[in-house]
C-alpha cells in the first residue's frame, strides 16, 4: 500500500525512535528470528546486512503514514453508516491479520511468533448496548466468529474452537481464556506460541512430533524479549504449567496434540541447574519410560537443540549414571531415549567395576548429586562370551584382556558348570551385573552415600533382540 503525501506530512521523521532492542535474543531458539526477506525485495533496501538508521526511520515513517491513511478510510466508512442511519444497527469490527516488526531483534515485517508480529489490533463496537472501553485479556482471532453469532442472535455451532468475547465486551468477565495461541511454521517445524497476560511460551514441534526447541519470555521482567528463559531453572515450574495450559487450549492442533501424549518428564521439563534433582525412583521411572518409547519406535530424542546445548555450557546435572558395556550396539542415550546432559555414561567392556570406573561414579554422586546409578549388561556381550570361552578352553590372551576376564570370572564361577555354553553366557551376563552392583555398593565411600540416601544402585540387562531393558530387582 502507498500512502498519499499528506499522511506522510502528519509526522516528522526525526520524531521516531528506533527499536529499543535491535540485537539478538540470548539463548535464542534459532526459529523465531528471520532475515526480513520480504523487505529485502524492495528498492533501496540492501539485500543483506544491517539497515542504516536513516532507512530505518524512513520505513517507520512510512508505516505510520500508512496506518493514518487506513484510519482515514475507516472514518469515511463510519461516517457513511451515520449518513445512512445504519450506525445503531451495525456491529463494527476492526481486526488486523498480523502485527509488524519495526526493527526489533533486527527484523522488519511479519512472520514470527514474537510479540510485535502476533499482537494485532482488535476493536469491536456492538450495534446496541454499552461496551467495555478496553481490556488486556488475551483473545484469539477465532473468537470473533462466536462473538458475532452471539451479538446477532445466531446460535453458536458446537464444533468451533473460538470463544465468544461478549462477556468481555459487556464487562461481566475479566477473561475468557488463560492465554492466546498463535501457530507459525518455520524450518520444517510448527511453532505453538502461547501468550498469557505476562508470559509467552513457545514450543517448536518438528515433523516427527518431537520438540525441536522452546522459548519463554517474561514481559514483566523483559518487555523487549531479549532473553529466552525456557531453560532457566527459576522458570521450570512455570514452563510446565504453561505447557499444560497451552495443550488445553490447543486441542485442535494436530502436532501439539501428538506431543501432549508424551509424559511431562519425557518432554524435558527438567532444566539444567534445577537444585532439587529427581529422586532415584523418579530417575529410574524416567529411564523405563524412555526405553518404552525406544522399543515402540516412538523415541522423541529430547534435548538436542542448540539452545539446550548452550545452557549446558554452564554445567551438567545428569539425572542418572549408566555404567554400560563399550559394545557399539548398546548406546545408553538411544536405549533410554535421552539427550545431551541427561545421562552420565561410563562405558567399559563387560561393564566391570574398577578403580577408574569407581572414581567416575563417585564424581557424579558427590559433585553432580546424581541420585541413581544403573549398571547395564546386555545379551550377546562379547566380553562375557570371551570369559566363558577362556574358562572352558584356556588360551593365550593379551595381558589386559586377561585382566578383564578375571574381573568377570567370579560371576561365571557362581553358575552351575553343567549348563550349556549359551545358557552360561546368558546367565553370566546377569550375574556379572549383580556382582558389579555388589562390588560398587561395598566400596566405603559409595556405601556411605547409599546409607545417607544420596544414591541408589540398580542393575539391568538390555535384550538386543527386542530392545527391552529388564531391571534386576
pLDDT tens, position by position, 245-286: 998 888 888 788 777 533 333 343 333 333 323 468 889 999
- pLDDT class for 452, splitting at 50, 70, 90? low
Over residues 87-98, the mean pLDDT reads 93
Position 402 scores a pLDDT of 85
**CATH superfamily assigned to domain 1-261:** Alkaline Phosphatase, subunit A (3.40.720.10)
The span from the CA of 317 to the CA of 291, in Å, is: 20
Instruction: Look at 77-81, 282-286, 439-443 and tell me which has the smallest mean pLDDT.
Output: 439-443
Sequence ranges of the domains in the chain: 1-261, 280-472
Tell me the C-alpha distance between 111 and 403, whole Å: 63
Least confident of 99-103, 235-239, 308-312: 308-312
Q: What angle do CA 331, 336, 339 make, to 5 degrees?
A: 80
432: number of Cβ within 10 Å: 29
pLDDT tens digit string along 376-435?
999 999 999 999 888 888 888 888 888 899 889 888 888 887 778 888 899 999 999 999
The predicted pLDDT at position 269 comes to: 37
Rounded Cα gap, residues 210 and 184, in angstroms = 16
Assess whether the region 1-261 and the region 280-472 belong to the same CATH fold. Answer: no
pLDDT of res. 260: 52
Fold exhibited by the domain 280-472: Beta-carbonic Anhydrase; Chain A (3.40.1050)
Q: What is the pLDDT of residues 140-192, one digit of tens each?
A: 999 999 999 999 999 999 888 899 999 999 999 999 999 999 999 987 889 99
Percent of the chain with pLDDT strictly greater than 70: 94
Contact 417, 388 (CB under 8 A): no
CA 140/CA 120 separation, integer angstroms:
10
Average pLDDT of the chain, as a whole number: 88
DSSP-assigned letter for residue 354: -
Would you report the helix, strand and coil content of the chain in percent, each value rounded to 5?
40, 15, 45
Check pLDDT > 90 for residue 453.
no
Helix (H) or strand (E) holding 45: none
What is the pLDDT confidence band of residue 208, given thresholds at 50, 70 and 90? low
On the question of pLDDT at 114 being above 80, the answer is yes
Query: What's the mean pLDDT in 60-65?
Result: 96
At 190 the three-state DSSP class reads: strand
Q: Tell me, what's the pLDDT at 268?
A: 39
Instruction: Answer yes or no: are the C-beta atoms of 45 and 55 closer than 8 Å.
Output: yes
pLDDT tens, position by position, 343-371: 999 999 999 998 899 999 988 887 788 88
E strands within 179-228? Answer: 180-186, 189-195, 199-205, 211-218
Determine the Cα–Cα distance for residues 22 and 263; give it in Å rounded to an integer: 37
Instruction: Report how far residue 436's alpha carbon sits from residue 312's, in angstroms, rounded to the nearest whole number.
Output: 30
**Cα gap 151→126, rounded to integer Å:** 7
- In terms of Cα–Cα distance, which of 471, 462, 465 is closest to 335? 462
* pLDDT category of residue 84 using cuts at 50, 70 and 90: very high
- Which three cell numbers mark 99? 502485527
**Of 287, 286, 274, 268, whose CA–CA distance to 210 is shortest?**
268
**pTM more than 0.85:** no
Q: What is the pLDDT of residue 30?
A: 81
User: By the 8 A CB rule, do 219 and 114 touch?
Assistant: no
Residue 196's contacts (CB-CB under 8 Å, 6 or more residues apart) are 138, 178, 179, 242, 245
Q: pLDDT digit string (tens) for 179-193?
A: 999 999 987 889 999
Long-range CB pairs of 196-199 (<8 Å, 24+ gap) are 196/138, 196/242, 196/245, 197/136, 197/137, 197/138, 199/238, 199/242
Determine the straight-line distance between the first and last CA of the chain, rounded to whole angstroms. 72
Amino acid at each position: 500500500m502507498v500512502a498519499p503525501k499528506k499522511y506522510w506530512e502528519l509526522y516528522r521523521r526525526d520524531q521516531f525512535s528506533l527499536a529499543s532492542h535491535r540485537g539478538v535474543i540470548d539463548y535464542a531458539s534459532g526459529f523465531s528470528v528471520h532475515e526480513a526477506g520480504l523487505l529485502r525485495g524492495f528498492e533501496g533496501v540492501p539485500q543483506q546486512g544491517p539497515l542504516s538508521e536513516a532507512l530505518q526511520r524512513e520505513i517507520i515513517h512510512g508505516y505510520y503514514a500508512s496506518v493514518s491513511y487506513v484510519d482515514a478510510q475507516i472514518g469515511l466508512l463510519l461516517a457513511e453508516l451515520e449518513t445512512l442511519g445504519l450506525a445503531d444497527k451495525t456491529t463494527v469490527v476492526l481486526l488486523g491479520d498480523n502485527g509488524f516488526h519495526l526493527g526489533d531483534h533486527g527484523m522488519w515485517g511479519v512472520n514470527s511468533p514474537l510479540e510485535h508480529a502476533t499482537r494485532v489490533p482488535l476493536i469491536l463496537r456492538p450495534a446496541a448496548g454499552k461496551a467495555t472501553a478496553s481490556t488486556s485479556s488475551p483473545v484469539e482471532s477465532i473468537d470473533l466468529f462466536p462473538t458475532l453469532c452471539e451479538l446477532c442472535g445466531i446460535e453458536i455451532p458446537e464444533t468451533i474452537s473460538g470463544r465468544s468475547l461478549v462477556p468481555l465486551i459487556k464487562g461481566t468477565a475479566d477473561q475468557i481464556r488463560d492465554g492466546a495461541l498463535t501457530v507459525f511454521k518455520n524450518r520444517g517445524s510448527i511453532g505453538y506460541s502461547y501468550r498469557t497476560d505476562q508470559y509467552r511460551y513457545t514450543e517448536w514441534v518438528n515433523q516427527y512430533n518431537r520438540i525441536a526447541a522452546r522459548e519463554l519470555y517474561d514481559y514483566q521482567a523483559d518487555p523487549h524479549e531479549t532473553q529466552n528463559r525456557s531453560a532457566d531453572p527459576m522458570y521450570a515450574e512455570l514452563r510446565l504449567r504453561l505447557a499444560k495450559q497451552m495443550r488445553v487450549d490447543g486441542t485442535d492442533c494436530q502436532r501439539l496434540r501428538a506431543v501432549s501424549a508424551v509424559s511431562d518428564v519425557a518432554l524435558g521439563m527438567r532444566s539444567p541447574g534445577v537444585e532439587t534433582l529427581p529422586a532415584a525412583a523418579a530417575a529410574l521411572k524416567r529411564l523405563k519410560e524412555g526405553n518404552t518409547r525406544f522399543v515402540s519406535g516412538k523415541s522423541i530424542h529430547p534435548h538436542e537443540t542448540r539452545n539446550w546445548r548452550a545452557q549446558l555450557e554452564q554445567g551438567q546435572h545428569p539425572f542418572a549414571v549408566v555404567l554400560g558395556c563399550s559394545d557399539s550396539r548398546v548406546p545408553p542415550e538411544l536405549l533410554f531415549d535421552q539427550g545431551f546432559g541427561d545421562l552420565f555414561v561410563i562405558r567399559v567392556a563387560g561393564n566391570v567395576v574398577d578403580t577408574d570406573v569407581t572414581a567416575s561414579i563417585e564424581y557424579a554422586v558427590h559433585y553432580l548429586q546424581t541420585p541413581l546409578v544403573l549398571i547395564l549388561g546386555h545379551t550377546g556381550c562379547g566380553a562375557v562370551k570371551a570369559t566363558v570361552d577362556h574358562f572352558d578352553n584356556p588360551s593365550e590372551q593379551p595381558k589386559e584382556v586377561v585382566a578383564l576376564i578375571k574381573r568377570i570370572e567370579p560371576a561365571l564361577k557362581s553358575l552351575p558348570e553343567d549348563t550349556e555354553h549359551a545358557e552360561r553366557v546368558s546367565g553370566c551376563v546377569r550375574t556379572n551385573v549383580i556382582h558389579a552392583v555388589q562390588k560398587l555398593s561395598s566400596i566405603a565411600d559409595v556405601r556411605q552415600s547409599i546409607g545417607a540416601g544420596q544414591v541408589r544402585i540398580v542393575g539391568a540387562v538390555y535384550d538386543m533382540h527386542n530392545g527391552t531393558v529388564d531391571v534386576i530387582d
